Structure 1
Amino acid sequence: MRQVVLASHHRFAQGLADTLEFLGSKNDFKVVCAYVDDEPLAPQVQKIFDGFAPDDEVLVLTDIMQGSVNQAFVPYANPHTFVVAGVNVALAFELCLAPEPLTMERIEAALVQARDAMVLINTIQVEDDEEDE
């Protein structure tokens, strides 16, 4: 079973979960909003992983590479637990909706797609089609 953990500093992870659910994702996200209260991060992470079965596929999406939240999950990375930093909505949606089991190659391809989807609109020549609304 695929388990998805969304983790961030403050409430970004909760907003990401809300957005993914709005867009149609049916995952039961585990959400970690670090540093919004006095609860230490490490026990929160341990509690989440204690609830997973040994054969679960776990996808952890964090906000900042090498940030404290991301680093709390790094020790759990293994062939069935994938920790991805720098998440955005497009990447999260792509990975959460993937019907097939995740692999390193599949995640790397999704990362390329997510990077390619980020553009400075000012630099793109948009054709004005009067029939478009």
Structure 2
Amino acid sequence: MRHILIATHGLLASGARSTMEFLIGNVDNVDYITAYVDGQKPINEQIEEYFAKIPQEDEVVIFTDIKGGSVNQKMIPYCVRENTFLVSGFNLAVLIEVTMTPEKLTNEFLKAKIEEAREQLCLVEIEKNNTEENDDDFLL
């Protein structure tokens, strides 16, 4: 089985999971860790509890928010585990793609999906028209 763990500073992780559920439905294999949030367990404890419940033979893909950030650094020791991948930085496109892909994951596959996700990040430029608009412009 594949498990997805989104781990971020603050509430970004829970929001990403919520949005995934809204867009694709069932995301029971997607968990999250919200680090440094009042009322939450310390991050080390959250991580230990998460990995304690995952069977050793299962795939785990960890997505963190900032390369080199404290959350990312705390995940690195868990990457020695077989079939465990750590991706620093994410967007919804890569989260959904990795979650829904049925085939076994490889480094090459994840690198390709990360590159595709990068292409989703772009500046949308709209040509600005200097002409004056009125209500008649919107009538069919």
User: TM-score, normalised on structure 2?
Assistant: 0.83
Q: Which residue of 1 aligns with 2:26?
A: 26
Q: Which residue of 1 aligns with 2:112?
A: 109
What stretches of structure 1 move > 4 A for 4+ residues in a row? none
Report which of the two structures shows the higher radius of gyration computed on alpha carbons.
Answer: 2
| Pair 1:120 & 2:120 matched | no
Whether the 8 Å CA contact 1:58–1:81 is kept in 2: the answer is: yes
Unaligned 5+ residue runs, structure 2? 128-140
Q: Deviations over 1:13-58 (max 9, x none)?
A: 0000001111115332221011112632111101100111010100
Unaligned 5+ residue runs, structure 1? 125-133
Amino acid at match of 1:9: H
C-alpha spacing 1:25/1:4, structure 2 compared with 1 (3 Å):
farther
Of the three residues 22, 42, 45, the one matched with 1:43 is: 45
Q: Which residue of 1 aligns with 2:58?
A: 56
Amino acid at match of 1:32: I
Task: Work out the percentage of aligned pairs sharing the same amino acid.
Answer: 38
Distance 2:117 2:126 in 1: 18
Amino acid at match of 1:2: R
